[in-house]
């Protein structure tokens, strides 16, 4: 009986038994469309029918943001093979961290839900006094591309399960200033949804000594006297203001500035963001500015 079943033939009159591999690829593809990408990739290993169905363009187009063409045109040049690839290849490529605008920005999709994440380097920000080496310097940081979770502050426990994102290898380091002001703006077409914006900062200058990560807090001062003011405005009418005292030396902290909502995925939205501490009664210093992070707010808030 077992041998006959494995061969696809029954003992009952010699009729062929239906097998999983006999399901038409078109039917399998319709089922796969309702699954998350990791589940689709796992089922693709079952047999040839599932593997073939998992490449259906309509499946992966449904997982991509509705404005994925804008993203592809923004990130890749005209000669890129990605533009003529199948939908699954486009999705797979966008799930990796991709640099654009001369390496000052990164974009990636969440591989489970396809949400858009953006990271904007300190080199793409306008920093008052950045050209005066007595105050500011761009420094290379001795960190892995994806830092250890122990070196990041997560004030929301649910965030510990989230994938880490790539860091830029150069950050803006402030030794000391009276006037702390960092501004930036960015135009982009975002998919429908609600997004959160963060400034990613680190008190102290980190390095490695004898293979271990250490933090030099020599220049850290002034952040406990007055809070830093963070602001966000968008061209579609959203505004947010937050204030924080900078703390947690030796840890990367994502300071939540505010949220904005996108209700038209084909409209270009201008986002302006800033952080300031311009009380000139005291100096402040010893902070690293890595980036501005924008991501779907369904991931939660970190501060």
pLDDT digits (tens, 9 = 90+) for 108-135: 988 777 688 999 999 999 999 999 999 9
Question: What mean pLDDT do residues 184-193 have?
Answer: 93
What pLDDT, on the 0 to 100 scale, is given for residue 161? 39
Mean pLDDT (the chain, rounded):
83
Query: Whole-angstrom Cα distance, residue 116 to residue 189?
Result: 10
| The pairing of beta strand 105-109 with beta strand 205-209 | unpaired
Provide the pLDDT for residue 220.
93
Count of other CB atoms within 10 angstroms of residue 163 = 12
pLDDT at 1 (0 to 100)? 38
Q: Is the dihedral of CA 282, 283, 287, 289 positive or negative?
A: positive
Q: Where are the alpha helices (DSSP H) in 76-199?
A: 87-94
pTM of the model: 0.82
At 25-52, the pLDDT tens digits run: 888 889 899 898 889 989 888 888 889 9
- Give the per-residue pLDDT at 175: 94
User: According to the model, what pLDDT value does residue 22 have?
Assistant: 74
Q: pLDDT band for 15, please (50, 70, 90 cuts).
A: low
Number of other CB atoms surrounding residue 281 within 10 Å? 8
Q: Which of 43-57, 142-156, 280-294 has the lowest mean pLDDT?
A: 142-156
Phi, psi of 159 (to 5 degrees): -75, -15
> Residues with Cβ < 8 Å from 50, sequence gap 6 or more?
20, 28, 32, 43, 44
Q: How far is CA 299 from CA 35, 95, 266, in A?
A: 20, 16, 23
Burial 244-263 (b: 16+ CB within 10 A, else e): bebeebbbbbbbbbbebebe
pLDDT of 197: 96
Q: How confident is the model at residue 106 (pLDDT cuts 50, 70, 90)?
A: very high
Positive or negative, the CA dihedral 127, 130, 135, 136 is: positive
List, in order, residues 6 or more apart from 209 with CB less than 8 Å away: none
- How far apart CA 158 and CA 196 sit, in angstroms, is 16
Q: Per-residue pLDDT for 6 more than 90?
A: no
- Alpha carbon of 84 to those of 78, 87, 173, 207: distances in Å? 10, 9, 41, 43
């Amino acid at each position: 009986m077992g041998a006959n079943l494995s061969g696809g033939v029954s003992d009952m009159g010699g009729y062929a038994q239906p097998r999983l591999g006999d399901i038409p690829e078109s039917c399998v593809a319709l089922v796969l469309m309702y699954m998350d990408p990791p589940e689709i990739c796992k089922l693709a290993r079952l047999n040839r029918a599932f593997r073939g169905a998992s490449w259906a363009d309509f499946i992966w187009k449904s997982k991509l943001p509705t404005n994925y063409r804008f993203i592809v045109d923004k990130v890749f040049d005209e000669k890129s093979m990605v533009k003529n690839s199948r939908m699954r290849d486009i999705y797979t490529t966008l799930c990796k961290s991709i640099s654009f605008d001369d390496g000052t920005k990164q974009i990636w999709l969440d591989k489970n839900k396809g949400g858009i994440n953006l990271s904007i380097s300190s080199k793409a920000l306008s920093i008052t006094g950045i050209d005066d080496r007595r105050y500011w310097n761009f420094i290379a940081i001795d960190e892995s591309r994806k830092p250890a979770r122990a070196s990041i502050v997560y004030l929301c426990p649910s965030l510990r399960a989230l994938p880490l994102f790539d860091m830029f290898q150069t950050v803006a380091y402030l030794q000391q200033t009276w006037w702390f002001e960092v501004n930036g703006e960015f135009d982009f077409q975002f998919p429908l949804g609600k997004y959160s914006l963060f400034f990613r900062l680190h008190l102290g200058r980190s390095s490695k000594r004898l293979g271990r990560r250490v933090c030099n807090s020599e220049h850290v001062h002034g952040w406990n006297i007055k809070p830093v003011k963070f602001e966000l405005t968008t061209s579609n009418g959203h505004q947010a203001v937050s204030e924080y005292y900078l703390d947690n030396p030796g840890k990367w902290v994502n300071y939540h500035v505010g949220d904005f909502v996108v209700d038209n995925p084909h409209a270009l939205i201008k986002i302006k963001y800033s952080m300031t501490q311009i009380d000139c009664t005291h100096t402040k210093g010893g902070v690293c500015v890595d980036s501005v992070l924008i991501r779907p707010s369904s991931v939660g808030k970190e501060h």
